[in-house]
C-alpha cells in the first residue's frame, strides 16, 4: 500500500477535507455497495486485517503497515476476527464506528499544523456529512453499484440522494476537485427561510416541489435525517398541500 510522503500530504483545510471525503466514500462503499465482497475478504482465519479508505474513493482490506510508527494513523486491527462471532449487521456497525474514528484521526493528523479557526472549519465541514456509522445503520441498501467516477465535473458527497433525473435531492454542497469553484458557482443561492447567502461550510437541503434551497438548521433537517428522505417538501409546500 502506497502512503503519501510528508511533502505531498494535504495541508490546507480544503485539501484535508477532500482527502477525508475520498477516504470516507471508499469505506462507505465497502460497507454498503460492496459489502458482500468486503465481508468475504475479512476471513477470520487470516492475520490482523484493516479496512483502509483511500483518497481516490477506493477501499482496501489489507495487513497493517510494517513500519512503527506508521506513516498515517492506522485503522482498527483484526476486524476480521469477530466476523463470524457476531451478527453481520452488528459486526458491520462496529467496523463503521472504528472507521469513523480512523477517518477523524487521519484528518486531524494532517490538520495538526492548522490554527484554531482552521481546525474548527475543518470539523464543521466533516460534521455536515453523516458518519459512516449513520450511513451503515440507517440507510437502506442500494442495489446499484456506483461507478468510481461518474465522469461529471462535480461529485456529490456519498451521503446525498439523487432523484430519477440524477439531480441531488438533499444537499447543495458539491465537493469539487477545485473546492473554491463551489463557492463561486452557488454564490447567488439564498436560503428560502432566513434569506442568507449560500455557505459551503453549512448543510443545505433542496425542496423537490418548489426547488428552493434551505439551511438544514432552518428547516430542522440534519444530514442524518436527510439520508432517509425520498422526496423533501419544505414547510411552505407541505402547508400548501394540506390546505388543498
Q: Facing residues of 181 across strands?
A: none
Per-residue pLDDT of 176-214, as tens digits, reads 333 444 445 455 678 888 877 777 677 888 888 888 888
Please count the CA atoms within 13 angstroms of the CA of 239 that sit on its side-chain side: 3
User: Considering the chain, what is the average pLDDT of its residues?
Assistant: 78
pLDDT recorded at residue 5: 43
- pLDDT band, residue 150 (cuts 50/70/90): very low
Grade residue 103 by pLDDT with cuts at 50, 70 and 90: very high
Are the C-beta atoms of 13 and 21 separated by less than 8 Å?
no
For residue 95, pLDDT over 60 is answered with yes
- Assess contact for 11 and 124: CB atoms under 8 A: no
**Res. 62: pLDDT tops 50:** yes
> What is the percentage of the chain residues whose pLDDT exceeds 70?
74
CA angle 16, 22, 23 (to 5 degrees): 90
Nearest to 210 by CA among 198, 192, 196: 192
pLDDT at 195: 79
Q: How confident is the model at residue 42 (pLDDT cuts 50, 70, 90)?
A: very high
Confidence of residue 117 (pLDDT cuts 50, 70, 90): very high
DSSP letters, 5-60, are PGGGS--SHHHHHHHHHHHHHHHHHHHTTTHHHHHHH--TTSS--EEEE-TTS-EE
In this structure, of 8-12, 171-175, 222-226, 228-232, the range with the lowest mean pLDDT score is 171-175
Say what the pLDDT of residue 202 is.
Answer: 79
Read off the C-alpha cell for 32: 454498503
Return the ∠ at Cα 108 (arms to 204 and 105), rounded to 5°. Answer: 100
- What is the C-alpha to C-alpha distance for residues 66 and 95, in angstroms, rounded to an integer? 22
Give mean pLDDT, residues 31-39: 95
Residue 12: HSE in the Cβ half-sphere, 13 Å Cα cutoff: 6
Please tell me the distance from the alpha carbon of residue 191 to that of residue 163, in angstroms, as a whole number.
21
% of the chain residues with pLDDT over 90:
48
Q: What is the model's pLDDT at position 222?
A: 85
Residue 2 has pLDDT above 80, yes or no: no
Over range 207-227, report the average pLDDT: 85
What are the structural domains of the chain?
13-137 (no CATH), 204-239 (3.30.40.10)
pLDDT of residue 86: 92
Model pLDDT, residue 169: 38
Query: What is the per-residue pLDDT for 181?
Result: 46
Cβ(209)–Cβ(234) under 8 Å?
Answer: yes
What's the full length of the chain, in residues? 244
Q: Give the single-character DSSP code of 168.
A: B
Q: What average pLDDT does range 218-242 have in this prediction? A: 81
Highest mean pLDDT among 82-91, 168-177, 179-188, 207-216: 82-91
Amino acid at each position: 500500500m502506497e502512503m503519501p510522503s510528508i511533502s505531498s500530504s494535504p495541508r490546507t483545510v480544503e485539501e484535508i477535507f477532500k482527502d477525508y471525503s475520498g477516504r470516507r466514500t471508499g469505506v462507505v462503499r465497502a460497507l454498503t455497495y460492496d459489502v458482500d465482497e468486503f465481508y468475504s475478504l475479512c476471513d477470520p482465519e487470516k492475520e490482523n486485517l484493516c479496512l483502509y479508505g483511500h483518497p481516490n474513493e477506493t477501499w482496501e482490506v489489507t495487513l497493517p503497515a510494517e513500519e512503527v510508527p506508521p506513516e498515517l494513523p492506522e485503522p482498527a486491527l483484526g476486524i476480521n476476527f469477530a466476523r463470524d462471532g457476531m451478527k453481520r449487521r452488528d459486526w458491520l456497525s462496529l467496523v463503521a464506528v472504528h472507521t469513523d474514528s480512523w477517518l477523524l484521526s487521519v484528518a486531524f493528523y494532517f490538520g495538526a499544523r492548522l490554527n484554531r479557526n482552521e481546525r474548527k472549519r475543518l470539523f464543521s465541514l466533516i460534521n455536515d456529512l453523516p458518519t459512516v456509522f449513520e450511513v451503515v445503520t440507517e440507510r437502506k441498501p442500494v442495489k446499484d453499484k456506483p461507478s468510481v467516477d461518474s465522469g461529471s465535473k462535480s461529485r456529490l458527497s456519498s451521503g446525498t440522494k439523487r432523484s430519477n433525473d440524477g439531480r441531488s435531492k438533499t444537499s447543495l454542497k458539491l465537493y469539487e476537485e477545485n473546492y473554491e469553484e463551489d463557492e463561486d458557482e452557488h454564490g447567488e443561492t439564498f436560503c428560502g427561510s432566513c434569506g442568507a447567502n449560500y455557505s459551503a461550510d453549512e448543510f443545505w437541503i433542496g425542496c423537490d416541489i418548489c426547488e428552493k434551497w434551505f439551511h438544514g438548521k432552518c428547516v430542522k433537517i440534519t444530514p442524518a435525517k436527510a439520508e432517509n428522505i425520498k422526496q423533501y417538501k419544505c414547510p411552505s409546500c407541505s402547508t400548501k398541500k394540506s390546505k388543498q
